[in-house]
């Protein structure tokens, strides 16, 4: 469920870009980001770097498109969003707090979080998302610089990259658990 809340602003943005203006798409995505942040706060969770960064990214780009350059192409807008999200992720790695870590710590108990492979898994999943962001950027660059390329081709690349990252995010922890064994019985939620 969490992954769908995280991706809701981006999916809404991509869908709205097909049917409405960039300004509307960006501001609606920013509003959805704010709603997701609000849901986290309501549930007593922390404000996430990706959520807060995405609010700033969508709002800032929306303001830019509205006030400075309303003729910015949809491919350029999508490219700016993908570059912005990649930047958020890379900054999270540079400061040694991968954006995935905030979500992971809310999904596992303290004992699991202390296991030696936990941080390795978090970093690996974050790098998988970075690879997906890079592929999405490549898809957008291709639609900008290869005029004959159909617009849907960048959507296919983005869809495949994002879904691969989602699959890896759910598969890899299960793989590690199967390979290295389940955490101690008292580390599992509800067994204390």
Q: Which residue ranges make up each domain of the chain? A: 2-183
pLDDT of residue 186: 41
Q: Specify the pLDDT at position 108.
A: 86
Non-local CB neighbours of 6 within 8 Å, separated by 6+ positions: 36, 50, 51, 103
pLDDT of residue 181: 66
- Under a CB-based contact definition with an 8 Å cutoff, are residues 69 and 62 in contact? no
The predicted model scores a pTM of 0.86
Determine the longest span between alpha carbons in the chain, in angstroms: 61
Using CA atoms of 42, 44, 46, 50 in order, give the dihedral in degrees to the nearest 10: -40
- Mean pLDDT (10-residue bins), the chain, 192 residues: 82 91 96 94 93 96 96 91 96 95 89 87 96 94 87 86 93 86 46 36
Structure tokens at 173: 């922890």
3 touches 169 (CB < 8 A): yes
* Residue 1: predicted pLDDT: 54
């Amino acid at each position: 469920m969490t992954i769908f809340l995280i991706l809701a602003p981006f999916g809404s943005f991509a869908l709205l870009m097909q049917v409405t203006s960039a300004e509307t798409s960006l501001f609606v995505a920013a509003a959805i980001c704010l709603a997701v942040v609000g849901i986290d706060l309501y549930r007593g969770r922390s404000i996430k770097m990706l959520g807060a960064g995405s609010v700033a990214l969508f709002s800032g780009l929306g303001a830019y498109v509205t006030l400075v350059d309303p003729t910015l192409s949809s491919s350029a807008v999508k490219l700016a969003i993908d570059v912005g999200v990649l930047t958020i992720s890379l900054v999270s790695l540079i400061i040694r707090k991968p954006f995935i870590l905030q979500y992971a710590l809310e999904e596992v108990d303290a004992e699991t979080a202390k296991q030696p492979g936990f941080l390795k898994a978090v970093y690996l999943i974050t790098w998988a998302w970075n690879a997906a962001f890079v592929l999405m950027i490549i898809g957008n660059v291709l639609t900008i610089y290869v005029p004959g390329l159909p617009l849907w081709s960048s959507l296919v690349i983005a869809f495949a990259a994002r879904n691969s990252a989602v699959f890896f995010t759910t598969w890899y922890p299960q793989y590690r658990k199967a390979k290295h064994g389940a955490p101690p019985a008292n580390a599992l939620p509800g067994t204390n």
